[in-house]
C-alpha cells in the first residue's frame, strides 16, 4: 500500500499525515448513520498502521460515542495518533440546537473529552464554528489557557470566515483550519484559502466527495430516504445537471485507471502542500483506494478540463456548506 507522507501542521507545527481519517460517520450524527463498532475500531487501527495519524472527531459526534471509539482504538498506542477534536455544538434528539462556546462550557467539554478518549492531552482542539454569542477573544482565549495548562497542544478552527481566521490567529496562533473543499465546493478559494496560506495555517479539507456526488455512484432521483435530499444540489433538475458534470470525472477516472472518488481526493490533495484531504472511511476496505489516491497526479490538460467543468459555481444548488 502507498505510504502517506507527513506535513507540518501550519508553520513549524507538528508532523501529521497528509491524509486525515474523518471518524464522524462511524457514529450517529443528525439522527442517522453510524457503523459497525468493531469495524470502525479496526479501520482506525489499520489507518494508524498505514501511517495515517490524523484522526478527526467532535465531542458531539454520537454524543461522545465517536471519542469513545477512538479511545478504544488508540489504547496502548497513544503516540501513533494525532487527535483533533471539535467542540461547541449542542445536539438533542439528532437535531443541532445551537452553539455553546462559553468559557465555562469549554472547560466542561474538555474534561469529558479527555476521559472518553482516555488521554491526558488533545492534540488539536477547535470550536466547530464561531458565532457572536461569545466574543472570539473569550473562545480562543479559553483554548489558549487550556494549552498553557497542558490539556491541549494546538489551536484549530473550523468553518469560519477569512476575517474570523485573522482575528483568531491574532489572539493565539492557529495551527489548522478545518473547512469543506472539493471540486464541487470551491467558494473558499476567493479569500479563505489565501488567508490561510498567508498566515501559514494548514487546511484540513473535508467533504472531498461533496456528500457522495463525486463518487460516481449516485443516480437521479435519489431514494426517498436519502439525507442528501435536504440539500438543493441533490433535488430535481439540479441533480440531473450535476450528475452530467460528474460524467467528466468518471471518464477521466476510466482513462487513468482509477475511481472518481480517487480523483476527487487527488484534486484536493494537489491544491497545495499545506492542504490535507480529510476523508470519512468507516470500513477497512476504503483505505487502500483512498490512500492510493494520494499518489495520483494530473497533467496540465487534465487540470484544465477539471477546472473548466468544475469551475466555482458550476455545480448547481448547495449543501450546508453554502451558509
Ligand X SMILES: NC(=O)c1ccc[n+]([C@@H]2O[C@H](COP(=O)([O-])OP(=O)(O)OC[C@H]3O[C@@H](n4cnc5c(N)ncnc54)[C@H](OP(=O)(O)O)[C@@H]3O)[C@@H](O)[C@H]2O)c1
Footprint of ligand X on this chain (CB under 6 A)? 22-25, 56, 86, 128, 158-159, 178, 206-209, 212, 215, 261, 278-283, 286, 289-290
61 is catalytic: yes
User: What is the chain's alpha carbon radius of gyration, rounded to the nearest angstrom?
Assistant: 19
Q: Considering the complex, state which of residue 199 and residue 293 has its C-beta at the smaller distance from ligand X.
A: 293
Q: Is 169 exposed, middle or buried (0-12, 13-18, 19+ CB in 10 A)?
A: buried
Distance, CA of 160 to CA of 105 (rounded, Å): 20
Q: Considering the complex, state which of residue 283 and residue 309 has its C-beta at the smaller distance from ligand X.
A: 283
Q: Considering the complex, state which of residue 150 and residue 228 has its C-beta at the smaller distance from ligand X.
A: 228
Q: Considering the complex, state which of residue 169 and residue 290 has its C-beta at the smaller distance from ligand X.
A: 290
Distance, CA of 269 to CA of 249 (rounded, Å): 16
The least distance separating ligand X from the CB of residue 182, rounded to whole angstroms, comes to: 7
Do the Cβ atoms of 277 and 208 come closer than 8 Å? yes
The least distance separating ligand X from the CB of residue 265, rounded to whole angstroms, comes to: 8
Q: Which of 61, 125, 154, 181 is catalytic?
A: 61
The least distance separating ligand X from the CB of residue 308, rounded to whole angstroms, comes to: 22
Distance, CA of 88 to CA of 120 (rounded, Å): 20
Distance, CA of 50 to CA of 2 (rounded, Å): 8
The least distance separating ligand X from the CB of residue 25, rounded to whole angstroms, comes to: 4
Q: Considering the complex, state which of residue 148 and residue 272 has its C-beta at the smaller distance from ligand X.
A: 272
What torsion, rounded to 10 degrees, do the Cα atoms 62, 79, 291, 294 define?
110
Distance, CA of 156 to CA of 169 (rounded, Å): 10
Q: Considering the complex, state which of residue 25 and residue 172 has its C-beta at the smaller distance from ligand X.
A: 25
The least distance separating ligand X from the CB of residue 244, rounded to whole angstroms, comes to: 20
Q: Is 239 exposed, middle or buried (0-12, 13-18, 19+ CB in 10 A)?
A: buried
Residue number with the smallest Cβ distance to ligand X: 22
Q: Describe the chain by its helix, strand, coil percentages, rounded to 5.
A: 45, 20, 35
The least distance separating ligand X from the CB of residue 275, rounded to whole angstroms, comes to: 14
Distance, CA of 50 to CA of 203 (rounded, Å): 22
Distance, CA of 200 to CA of 181 (rounded, Å): 18
- Residues classed as catalytic: 61
Amino acid at each position: 500500500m502507498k505510504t502517506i507522507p507527513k506535513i507540518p501542521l501550519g508553520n513549524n507545527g507538528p508532523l501529521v499525515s497528509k491524509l486525515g481519517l474523518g471518524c464522524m460517520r462511524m457514529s450517529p450524527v443528525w439522527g442517522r448513520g453510524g457503523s459497525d463498532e468493531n469495524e470502525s475500531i479496526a479501520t482506525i487501527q489499520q489507518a494508524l498502521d498505514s501511517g495515517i495519524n490524523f484522526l478527526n472527531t467532535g465531542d458531539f459526534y454520537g454524543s461522545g460515542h465517536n471519542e469513545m471509539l477512538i479511545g478504544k482504538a488508540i489504547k496502548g498506542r497513544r503516540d501513533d495518533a494525532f487527535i483533533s477534536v471539535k467542540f461547541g455544538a449542542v445536539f438533542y434528539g439528532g437535531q443541532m440546537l445551537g452553539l455553546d462556546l462559553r468559557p465555562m462550557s469549554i472547560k466542561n467539554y474538555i474534561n469529558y473529552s479527555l476521559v472518553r478518549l482516555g488521554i491526558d492531552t488533545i492534540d488539536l482542539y477547535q470550536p466547530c464554528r464561531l458565532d457572536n454569542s461569545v466574543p472570539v477573544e473569550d473562545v480562543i482565549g479559553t483554548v489558549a489557557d487550556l494549552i498553557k495548562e497542558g490539556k491541549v497542544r494546538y489551536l484549530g478552527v473550523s468553518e469560519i470566515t477569512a476575517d474570523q481566521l485573522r482575528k483568531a490567529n491574532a489572539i493565539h496562533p492557529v495551527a489548522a483550519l478545518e473547512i469543506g473543499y472539493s471540486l464541487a465546493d470551491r467558494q473558499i478559494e476567493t479569500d479563505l484559502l489565501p488567508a490561510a496560506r498567508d498566515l501559514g495555517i494548514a487546511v484540513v479539507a473535508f467533504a472531498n466527495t461533496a456528500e457522495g456526488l463525486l463518487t460516481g455512484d449516485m443516480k437521479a432521483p435519489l431514494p426517498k430516504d436519502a439525507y442528501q435530499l435536504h440539500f438543493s444540489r441533490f433535488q430535481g433538475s439540479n441533480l440531473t445537471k450535476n450528475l452530467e458534470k460528474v460524467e467528466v470525472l468518471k471518464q477521466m477516472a476510466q482513462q487513468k485507471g482509477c475511481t472518481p472518488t480517487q480523483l476527487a481526493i487527488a484534486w484536493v490533495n494537489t491544491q497545495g502542500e499545506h492542504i490535507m484531504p480529510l476523508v470519512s472511511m468507516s470500513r477497512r476496505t476504503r483505505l487502500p483506494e483512498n490512500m492510493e489516491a494520494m499518489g495520483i497526479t494530473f497533467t496540465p490538460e487534465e487540470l484544465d478540463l477539471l477546472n473548466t467543468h468544475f469551475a466555482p459555481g458550476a455545480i448547481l444548488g448547495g449543501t450546508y456548506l453554502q451558509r
